[in-house]
Amino acid sequence: MKEKLYVYTHPLAYEHDTGPGHPERTDRLDAILPALRESSFSSLLNFVKPRKITLKELLRGHSKEHVEYIKNIIPHTGYDGVDPDTIVSPQSYEAALYSAGGCLQAVDEIVKGKIKRAFCAGRPPGHHATKTRAMGFCLFSNIALAACHALKEHGMDKVAIVDFDVHHGNGTQDVITENQHILFISLHEYPNYPMSGTRQENVENHILNVPMASRSTGTDYKKAFKEEVIPALRKFEPELLFISAGFDAHQRDPLASIELEDDDFGWMTEQLVLVANDYCKGRVISTLEGGYDLIGLRGGVLAHIQALLA
């Protein structure tokens, strides 16, 4: 009998209002959450309202000044902007606390043996938020904070993060850059926002950036996985595997030029699950990052979740 997959999502994710025409919008959750509840595998999903991240937990990855800045920029009404891309509204700070908190709660419940796999469907996303700066639609570095939590709070020795969002996870890399107990792997279109993630930034057994050329296809991603991603993971032997699951490498997505299809996200996830089965007792935590075409996002997420359930 298959184990259930826990989906962490909080109602305040819908209250993080980024304004008319913004690509990182509430419609993204409307595209995926009902589809998951109506899917053929819905009986294997357990939807959970997550806890908030605490200040102590935030400070494992961000400066106190950064946290205070985000808290203080939140408007009482309307909108404000950290930058032209990163918009906040009255509930954005609270939504961000639950978005990050869901990732940490997944770690806690995996360590307790309550669950084996989780998908954190929060907003705002996190992989562009650095130690000291919000950017790229992201306020706090959700997945990096969760990785630090696994190490500091639960005594794990090695964890890995694989980021297949089409944009480089510069924030994740910044937060974990001094922690050799975390392996960070990012496949991303280059050149593209945020114009980082070159091979010159790589550190053996710690940071592996795999820049992908525009118009790369599933065949190209499979080659990168087989030749670089999977060997690096197996060499590192992590105890817990995190996935920054962005679906903006989909061929339909308006913010990039990679040509993946739904099944490619399923294939990549399957390969990561195989590694997790060998080294992590099958334990995987995935968190939603990008994906801005609603049809592509829905198809990619469904393929991803099916593979996580395998």
- State the catalytic residues: 128
Question: Measured on CA atoms in the order 103, 107, 110, 114, is the torsion positive or negative?
Answer: negative
- Please say whether the beta carbons of 285 and 146 come within 8 A: yes
Question: Measured on CA atoms in the order 289, 293, 295, 300, is the torsion positive or negative?
Answer: negative
Q: Which helix (H) or strand (E) holds 288?
A: strand 284-288
- Residues 6 or more apart in contact with residue 171 via CB below 8 angstroms: 126, 127, 128, 129, 130, 133, 135, 136, 138, 141, 144
Residue 10 phi, psi (nearest 5):
-120, 145
Residue among 240, 120, 108, 268 at smallest CA distance from 183:
240
State the SS3 of 148-196: HHHHHHHCCCCEEEEECCCCCCHHHHHHHCCCCCEEEEEEEECCCCCCC
Burial label for 26, CB within 10 Å (0-12, 13-18, 19+), is middle
Q: How far apart are the first and last CA of the chain?
A: 11
CA–CA distance, 95 with 140 (Å, rounded to integer): 11
CA–CA distance, 187 with 76 (Å, rounded to integer): 38
